[in-house]
Amino acid sequence: MNLMANILINVIIAFLAGSLLLGLHRKIMARVQKRPGPPIVQNLIHSLKFFFKETAIPKTVSKVFYIGITFILALIWVVGVIAGPVAKDSLLILFGVYAVYKIVEHNSGSSSGSPYGKLSCVRAVLSAATELPLFAAIVFVYLITGTMNIGEIIAYQSAHGPLIFTIPLAAVMFFMLIITKSPYSPFAITKDKALISGFETEHFGLLRGFMHFSEAIAWYVMLWVFLTIFFGPLNAVGYLIGMIAITFITAFINATTPIFSPNHSVMTQITIGAICFFGTIVMIFTGVVA
Amino acid sequence: MDSQKSLCIILLVLSTIAILACLVINLEAWIVYDVAIFCIPLWVLSLGLLTMAKPAPEDEEERVKEPFTGY
């Protein structure tokens, strides 16, 4: 298949599947809380609807920065689609994508001129604590498989079995990242409702729709990477079941957990990360990991 | 026609041409990656800037003074 056609198809699938999964996430959260909740397609409809809504640029923003940051958000997740589902390239590129995502959260808040956005921008720095467990998880994947290349990690798992059984605590660390980035997460200190919509507060209308587009792709890519590096070679049905299962689990956790205060959020993430990190090292040295 | 609208039309046309060129011609992978990374978000953003509704002139001042700003 033509490379550009392959990229376009994967970006469209990521957007549609990501939007529907986020809609499902919202629906499950509502049902757990005994509310009817919106239809599953609502998230997708919202994203498209915002493109036709009235949009004005607030006086206090830095215009180029304010629009440019939404462009960078979309750009990095298109890179995520290319490095992941399309090229199955290095995990380090995806780690870089996630690191830039943090910078986008930070700068989106600071470009807005809103005090809520700025407070969220400060919290984005704190929430970078999730990058440490993510980096540790990637290091363990490298130590076991001897490669950072996603295609080679898939090949390793087809020969030796899924990594979830070899380094389960590394998978827990990665899963914590997914919980952190899921909507209404207990670790979502940048979008705490005390901050209205956090770093997105002043991005409304078209720009909010554009951010929804990127976040739907982000959700799809993160789930795809988790399933690929810990559950081995999967077919389309395997990915579908896996993504729905993870969405269900994160929705259940988020529906039953309040948002932590920033210091509790960071300490909880670092504590879970440290336990999983040292646990995996113990497993390696005691020979539990082959 | 204001400058923002003109710029959006130019960017939309350029990104469409670049994407179509990569679909039709078999270019080297790094060129296709570059075009995809920059032109797909640009296409969506420039299309959105053209399709978005704008506030009526009498409401514009009120819209740009958002309730959350100016603290």
Selected residue with higher pLDDT from A177 and A130: A177
Residue type, B68: F
Q: Is the pLDDT of residue A196 over 70?
A: no
- This model of the complex carries an ipTM of 0.86
Question: Which of B40, B43, B59, B61 best tests the A interface by mutation, with the highest count of A CBs <10 A?
Answer: B40
What is the pTM assigned to this prediction? 0.91
pLDDT band at B71, cuts 50/70/90?
very low
Interface residue of B37, B42, B60 to substitute, partner A, most A CBs within 10 Å? B37
Q: Which pLDDT tens digit goes with each residue over A69-128?
A: 889 999 999 999 999 999 998 988 988 888 888 888 778 777 777 777 777 777 777 777
Q: How many domains does chain B have?
A: 1
Residue A74 to residue B40, Cβ atoms within 8 A: yes
CB contact under 8 A, B52 and A53: yes
Residue A110 and residue A201 in contact, taking contact as beta carbons nearer than 8 Å: no
- Let me know if residue B69 belongs to a domain: no
Residue B69 has pLDDT above 70, yes or no: no
Q: Is residue B33 part of a domain?
A: yes
- Assigned domain for B58 exists: yes
Of B32, B33, B66, the CB nearest to A58: B66
Our CA-based measurement puts residue A210 at a distance from the nearest CA of chain B, in whole angstroms, of 7
Task: Look at residue B70 in the predicted model and tell me its pLDDT.
Answer: 42
B53: phi then psi, degrees, rounded to nearest 5: -85, 145
Residue B12 distance to chain A (closest CA, Å):
14
B37 touches A at CB < 8 Å: yes
B48 falls within a domain: yes
Is residue B71 one of the residues assigned to a domain?
Answer: no
pLDDT score of A32: 92
All residues of chain A having their beta carbon less than 8 Å from the beta carbon of residue B33 are 7, 82
**Nearest CA to CA, how far is A123 from chain B (Å)?**
18
Tell me, yes or no, if B16 comes closer than 8 A to chain A by beta carbon: no
Q: Is residue B40 part of a domain?
A: yes
Chain B CB contacts of A116 below 8 Å: 68
Q: B40 vs A4: CB contact, 8 Å cut-off? A: no
Q: Measured between CB atoms, which of A2, A7, A113 is closest to B69?
A: A113
Of A100, A288, A119, nearest to A192 by C-alpha is: A119
**Tens digits of residue pLDDT in B8-18:** 899 999 999 99
Nearest-by-CA chain A residue for B63: A56
Q: What is the mean pLDDT of chain A?
A: 86
Three-class SS of chain B: CCHHHHHHHHHHHHHHHHHHHHHHCCCCHHHHHHHHHHHHHHHHHHHHHHHCECCCCCCHHHHHCCCCCCC
Domain boundaries, position B29: 3-64
